[in-house]
Copies of this chain bind each other. A is one copy, B any other.
Amino acid sequence: MKPTLQAVADAVGVSRSTVSNAYSRPDQLSAALRERILDAARQLGYPGPNPTARSLRRGFVGSIGVLFTSQLSYAFTDPFAVRFLTGVSAAAERHGTSMLLVPLPPGQTDARQAVENAAVDGFCVYCVADEEWALDVIRARGLPYVSTAARDDAGADERYVGIDERAAARGVAAHVAGLGHRRVALLADSVLPDAPAGPLTLAGVHEVWHPTTRGRLTGFADAFREVGVGWADLMVVNALGNSRQAAGAAVAGLFDGHAPPTAVLAGSDVLALGVLDALAQRADGTRPPVSVTGFDDVPEAAAAGLTTVRQPAEDKGRIAAELLLDPPADAAAGHVLLPTALVVRASTGPVPRS
């Protein structure tokens, strides 16, 4: 049996309260007695107040949860997610708060329970596709949260940090359109819940499942509509996952038709890098002069010469955590929109004349 606070109290011959004060409120007892208590604790091998019991009584835990809807182990392989976590951890560090990473098991019921059972004081919700359920659970628990994905039905009082997805996407698409491209493919992860990999027909951009993706594709479409290319003329390509491999699989065969796209606008850098991989590794050795753009500007993008949209990933994490740990008095200040920038590199160029 590990010794409890009571055991220390008995050993010293004081009340439980006094031992508690020795640890948590040193100003409530004389320095001498405090020393005596801490000595006795050392003697007995008492490791300090039990964190769980303390949390229960105090009503807070001292840690924040970070919620990924996708697999947690996947999150660590996504460079953008890692940079987001870096930002969160920097803020957590400053506040002396721990971060709880909660893996969500497959299946709604189990996933709900995982969120219900997380011992945290609040959540940074990184990416909750249309999984409104997670926010429901968090709200039911009465916990504060900050979300990073734009949601259509976000309340005005809801804390949020993000970017103007649509405007940012429009910027990079306008760059591509300005280079003369008219036959373009829009590549994104999980466009529809159960669609296969590859080209897809959508009646309109509103059908796109994930709000972030929807915002980006809308921006892409905006720019092309301005140069006379309507939604129906855009090729939407679905990837099964946000990874290079998934991108490669999605665009397999895309450039072999009789009127292949001259540009691919990807919904993320990882997908764009996958497209570049696929182009570089074509069996026949031909490297079609396809322009490719990404989104996020992860570290690998620079090395690959990828044209992309830069967004401040670490700031996003840091601000999300700070909004949570140190809520602004003014509700409007709880809604942060970060700047983005078009970064033009070698992966985009003028349409080749054929």
Kindly list chain B residues whose C-beta atoms are within 8 Å of the C-beta of A137.
47
Report whether A96 and B89 are in contact in the complex, using a CB–CB cutoff of 8 Å.
Answer: no
Alpha-carbon gap, A102 to B64, bound state (A)? 11
Given A2-B142, A119-B119, 11 more pairs with CB closer than 8 A: A52-B55, A55-B119, A63-B100, A63-B119, A73-B90, A75-B89, A76-B85, A89-B101, A96-B103, A98-B114, A99-B101
Interface size on A, residues (CB 8 A): 49
Chain A contacts with B in 66-97, Cβ cutoff 8 A: 71-73, 75-77, 82-83, 85-87, 89-90, 92-93, 96-97
Chain A contacts with B in 112-140, Cβ cutoff 8 A: 113-114, 116-119, 137, 140
Kindly list chain B residues whose C-beta atoms are within 8 Å of the C-beta of A113.
48
Looking at the assembled complex, report how far the CB atom of A342 sits from the nearest CB atom of chain B, in whole angstroms.
25
CB < 8 Å: which of B89, B114, B142 contacts A73?
B89
Alpha-carbon gap, A73 to B83, bound state (A)? 10
Alpha-carbon gap, A86 to B77, bound state (A)? 7
Looking at the assembled complex, report how far the CB atom of A277 sits from the nearest CB atom of chain B, in whole angstroms.
12
Kindly list chain B residues whose C-beta atoms are within 8 Å of the C-beta of A350.
none
Assess whether A56 is interfacial by the CB under 8 Å rule.
yes
Alpha-carbon gap, A72 to B50, bound state (A)? 24
Report whether B98 and A100 are in contact in the complex, using a CB–CB cutoff of 8 Å.
Answer: yes
Alpha-carbon gap, A199 to B119, bound state (A)? 48
Assess whether A62 is interfacial by the CB under 8 Å rule.
yes
Assess whether A105 is interfacial by the CB under 8 Å rule.
yes
Report whether A61 and B119 are in contact in the complex, using a CB–CB cutoff of 8 Å.
Answer: yes
Assess whether A339 is interfacial by the CB under 8 Å rule.
no
